[in-house]
Structure 1
Amino acid sequence: MNRQKLSGERENFLQRRYGVRLGRRYALAAASVVLLSVLGCSQVNSSTSALAQSRLPETESTLQKKTAISDTKIVEANNKFGFKLFSEVLKNNSSEKNVFISPSSVAIALAMTYNGASGSTQQVMAKTLELQGMDLQAINSGYKRLKNLLENPEAKVQLTIANSLWADKDASFRSDFLQKAQDFYQAKVTTLNFQNAEAPNIINNWVKENTNGKINKIVGAVEPEQVLFLINAIYFKGQWSNAFDKSKTTAYPFYLTSGKQKQHQMMPQNGEYQYQETEQFQAVSLPYGKDGKISFYIFLPKPNSNLKALQQNLNSENWEKWMTQFKKREGFIRLPKFKTDYEVTLNDALKALGMEEAFSSKADFSGMGKNLAISQVKHKTFVEVNEEGTEAAASTSVGIVATSLREKPEPFRMIVDRPFFCAIRDRTTGSVLFMGSIVDPQ
């Protein structure tokens, strides 16, 4: 009797879930983080088990193999760099604060910058970005093809990657450096008067436009020695393969790191998912769009573990292993709605990863121009997760300064022991009120 009742409830659930949801349309969005290079898998969206078997791959790596790209070295490099960068960012972050970065955005901005690096500066950047053993042509071609593959993967998933270079009108850069940015990264190259107070607004408006208004400002006041900004912007928007039912969203306790709890809006859902479970965590993949080529991953530490312990095991090797261990499994999830933005200056993290020379007077960016160094790498992100999906954006700015202006000059010595000229001038109007030559001071 109980078995018949359970069977009937299951049948009603499948009819309600798959019959109704197939006719509904949602607008969603998702972020371009390092996870973008790992392709997700579609959830079940049919009421028949046979179609479900064909729609949902056995593991997370199945779809990735079907859509394998020739530039796997670029993907592997981005993932390795991404996890290293995330680890460094966490070291300087409070355990009570959210961290959300887009290593893909940072990697692309630094890859454009890498085109101008030479000598030992190129070597330390290659090591940090995990590009050792790859020639510049292969790197640039790889990023170009990867951009084409990632952008707008299907009708219900929007992904855009935009690049730009903003150069001071009084600075000089090698034409082949600028040409590579245009040819391989489709970068918009613009010359601006950096002394004009409107220069930052022009750059920031470009960022705002290319992140759909989610990131309004990446460049602040332009310093006198600033000569170039290399900027990447990523925006992703799509639909969950199976959206959450808004009417079922309810407040439940959420337990903070401190041990305190708060009531928070949580979204429940039953279904068949890509799932895995270890002694340390549970993990689920929630795909976007019809084909599920991009997916949202949630790794939840077990009660006997914690997020810090999980973060200590976050690296590209473990990530690739975990991606092979997802299996189809029916289950129930309850996911918190959330929205957050994040901002970080990455100078210290990149220096810790080996790029200190690129920020110093020893920097060699002769492939870009003369006497240049990185002044600041700024990164901003936005993410919102709700019943309809996820909307997220990221922008990275690499500021370049002229080291000849940046270096502090040696203290001067001026011994006024011979005839000299002098003047008294009104600085407000520029009027020279007095002037004269003193040949014999009395």
Structure 2
Amino acid sequence: MRTAWLWLLGTGILASIHCQPFPAHGDKSLGVPQIPSHQLSEPAPAYHKVTSTITSFALHLYKQLAAGVPGNILFSPVSLSSTLALLSLGAQADTPARILEGLGFNLTETPAADIHRGFQSLLRALDLPSPKLELKIRNSLFLDKQLKPQQHFLDRVKELYGAFAFSANFTNSATTGQINDYVKKQTYGQIIDCLQEFSQDTLMVLLNYIFFKAKWKHPFDRYQTRKQDSFFLNERTSIRVPMMQQREMHRFLYDQEVACTVLQIEYSGTALLVLVLPDPGKMQQVEAALQPETLRKWGQRFLPSLLDLHLPRFSISGTYNLEEILPQIGLTNIFDMEADISGITGQPNKTISRVSHKAVVDINEKGTEAGATSGLLSQPPPLNMTSVPFAQFNRPFLLLLWEVTTQSLLFLGKVVNPAAG
């Protein structure tokens, strides 16, 4: 009997950029979005029903990964949660409720129909074209030609999640290359060989990718980047990394209770990068304190100041088989024979045997448009260094990448070794 393998791939590319000064009009601070006065009487967008739950799910999943992964961590909460929610559309009996409740939704307070409309609203909002921010989130279904999925399911996933279904022959080894070529094309050549293995028993690949690319309003000066023994993996070991440097206006805070410095860097578009630097030896304490309430508290306390910033240039990725991790956070029954996914497969007694997720983030000095920032390269006048706060990210730190308009968490991760890839 052939088993239905579900592959979930979430991939993202981040071209890092330089922060802008504290905005004079409006505030993109995490947790305190500014609502234009003319919108105050308008109904809240449907995505407000899902974004806070996605954040809670992300923090819960992060703690499970941190407990078992000693190195770098990176995943896309929006990518992963939206694809699992999509999967619930093809489930039958009580399996949809199990999946949505495992994601953290209270179906008494938020019915399943509202959840799916929330994801529809979120994905459409994130997909709106912007000259300053390139963001694509896509879902695709590759179904074995022997399957006969319900047309109602195919129509709903297309309408709500923008997902298209393709027929595939998984007994043909060339299928892997065809799917890889598809993803490579969709991500402009950034993601290569995303699928490296699947057996001939595979019946279905549920593919999700997120592509993010933005630029700094004022790039880091690459001539100021220095490669030096400056990043401490632990108390005894340091490695040579390219350390970017700049002195610029940033919004940041020091949380004495949690024992960490939190820095907010703004993109030219509607996105924020939040970096959390634990005090030496306090990483586990900071991870334990990661709660939605903590993030809201930070968002309300950020203050602008000129900051002397030293940040490593790095590229990290995360690849996970989540079938062993998801049951630990409540998704307990989507991998056994009791889970009914016949709406997708068109056949009973097919199970999901794998949930695979991959994310990639690349942070460097460059923007994405050549010459677009050439007129903005002036540096602030020299100041006495002793009067400028100093932030050196020379030990493991956390990163959270947000889309501001929807308050959605695109990426969450931990940089333990910036040279590990």
Q: Would the TM-score normalized by the shorter structure come out above 0.5?
A: yes
Alpha-carbon distance between aligned partners in 2 of 1:241 and 1:64, rounded to the nearest angstrom = 21
Alpha-carbon distance between aligned partners in 1 of 2:87 and 2:53, rounded to the nearest angstrom = 16
Alpha-carbon distance between aligned partners in 2 of 1:301 and 1:118, rounded to the nearest angstrom = 45
Equivalent residue number for residue 73 of structure 1 = 49
Q: Name the SS of the counterpart of 1:61 in structure 2.
A: coil
1:151 aligns with 2:127: yes
Equivalent residue number for residue 178 of structure 1 = 154
Equivalent residue number for residue 267 of structure 2 = 288
Alpha-carbon distance between aligned partners in 2 of 1:151 and 1:71, rounded to the nearest angstrom = 13
Query: Do the aligned partners of 1:212 and 1:235 also contact (CA within 8 Å) in 2?
Result: no
**Per-residue deviation at 1:379?**
1.0
RMSD of aligned alpha carbons? 2.8
Equivalent residue number for residue 69 of structure 2 = 93
Query: Do the aligned partners of 1:74 and 1:139 also contact (CA within 8 Å) in 2?
Result: yes
Q: Name the SS of the counterpart of 2:324 in structure 1.
A: helix
Task: Find 1:383's aligned residue among 356, 361, 374.
Answer: 361
Alpha-carbon distance between aligned partners in 2 of 1:301 and 1:335, rounded to the nearest angstrom = 14
Q: Deviations over 1:17-53 (max 9, x none)?
A: xxxxxxxxxxx96289xxxxxxxx9722xxxxxxx66
**Per-residue deviation at 1:153?**
5.8
1:244 aligns with 2:220: yes
Equivalent residue number for residue 344 of structure 1 = 320
Q: Deviations over 1:353-399 (max 9, x none)?
A: 12221101111224433323221010112111111259x9x99xxxx
Q: Deviations over 1:125-166 (max 9, x none)?
A: 112212222333222221121112112563121111111001
Structure 2 stretches lacking a partner, 5+ long = 1-11, 369-400, 402-409, 412-421
Deviates more, 1:327-336 or 1:65-74: 65-74
Q: Which amino acid aligns with 2:264?
A: S
Residues 427-438 of structure 1 mapped to structure 2, 5 A cutoff: none
Q: Name the SS of the counterpart of 1:308 in structure 2.
A: helix
**Structure 1 segments (4+ residues) deviating >4 Å:** 64-68
**Per-residue deviation at 1:316?**
2.5
Equivalent residue number for residue 98 of structure 2 = 124
Task: Find 1:30's aligned residue among 7, 14, 29.
Answer: 14
Alpha-carbon distance between aligned partners in 1 of 2:306 and 2:210, rounded to the nearest angstrom = 33
Query: Do the aligned partners of 2:92 and 2:340 also contact (CA within 8 Å) in 1?
Result: yes
Alpha-carbon distance between aligned partners in 2 of 1:209 and 1:164, rounded to the nearest angstrom = 14
**What TM-score, normalized to structure 2?**
0.75
1:104 aligns with 2:104: no
Q: Which amino acid aligns with 2:56?
A: K
Alpha-carbon distance between aligned partners in 1 of 2:28 and 2:173, rounded to the nearest angstrom = 56
Equivalent residue number for residue 20 of structure 2 = 43
Structure with greater contact order relative to length (CA < 8 Å, sep ≥ 6): 2
Q: Name the SS of the counterpart of 1:90 in structure 2.
A: helix
Equivalent residue number for residue 272 of structure 1 = 249
C-alpha spacing 1:321/1:119, structure 2 compared with 1 (3 Å): farther
Alpha-carbon distance between aligned partners in 2 of 1:329 and 1:204, rounded to the nearest angstrom = 45
Percent identity over the alignment is 27
**Per-residue deviation at 1:100?**
1.1
Equivalent residue number for residue 277 of structure 2 = 300
Task: Find 1:254's aligned residue among 193, 214, 231.
Answer: 231
C-alpha spacing 1:237/1:59, structure 2 compared with 1 (3 Å): closer
C-alpha spacing 1:300/1:180, structure 2 compared with 1 (3 Å): same
Query: Do the aligned partners of 1:215 and 1:381 also contact (CA within 8 Å) in 2?
Result: no
Q: Which amino acid aligns with 1:383?
A: V
Structure 1 stretches lacking a partner, 5+ long = 1-27, 33-40, 45-51, 396-442
Q: Which amino acid aligns with 1:256?
A: L
Residues 347-426 of structure 1 mapped to structure 2, 5 A cutoff: 347-368=323-344, 369=346, 370-388=348-366
Query: Do the aligned partners of 1:214 and 1:382 also contact (CA within 8 Å) in 2?
Result: no
Q: Which amino acid aligns with 1:242?
A: H
Query: Do the aligned partners of 1:161 and 1:233 also contact (CA within 8 Å) in 2?
Result: yes
Equivalent residue number for residue 308 of structure 2 = 332
Q: Which amino acid aligns with 1:138?
A: D
**Per-residue deviation at 1:315?**
2.5
1:57 aligns with 2:27: yes
Query: Do the aligned partners of 2:252 and 2:303 also contact (CA within 8 Å) in 1?
Result: yes
Q: Deviations over 1:172-195 (max 9, x none)?
A: 211111111111111121011222
**What TM-score, normalized to structure 1?**
0.72
Query: Do the aligned partners of 1:341 and 1:383 also contact (CA within 8 Å) in 2?
Result: yes
Alpha-carbon distance between aligned partners in 2 of 1:58 and 1:240, rounded to the nearest angstrom = 15
**Per-residue deviation at 1:62?**
3.7
Query: Do the aligned partners of 2:232 and 2:239 also contact (CA within 8 Å) in 1?
Result: yes
Equivalent residue number for residue 317 of structure 1 = 293
Q: Name the SS of the counterpart of 1:375 in structure 2.
A: coil
Q: Which amino acid aligns with 2:276?
A: F
Q: Name the SS of the counterpart of 1:242 in structure 2.
A: coil
C-alpha spacing 1:160/1:275, structure 2 compared with 1 (3 Å): same
Query: Do the aligned partners of 2:252 and 2:263 also contact (CA within 8 Å) in 1?
Result: yes
Alpha-carbon distance between aligned partners in 1 of 2:157 and 2:48, rounded to the nearest angstrom = 21
Query: Do the aligned partners of 2:83 and 2:208 also contact (CA within 8 Å) in 1?
Result: yes
Query: Do the aligned partners of 1:43 and 1:56 also contact (CA within 8 Å) in 2?
Result: no
Equivalent residue number for residue 116 of structure 2 = 140
Q: Which amino acid aligns with 1:179?
A: D
Q: Which structure shows the bigger proportion of residues in helix conformation?
A: 1
Q: Deviations over 1:264-283 (max 9, x none)?
A: 21111112112111111111
Alpha-carbon distance between aligned partners in 2 of 1:60 and 1:90, rounded to the nearest angstrom = 23
C-alpha spacing 1:152/1:333, structure 2 compared with 1 (3 Å): farther
Q: How many residues in Structure 1 have an aligned counterpart in Structure 2?
A: 347
Q: Which amino acid aligns with 1:336?
A: P
Q: Name the SS of the counterpart of 2:94 in structure 1.
A: helix
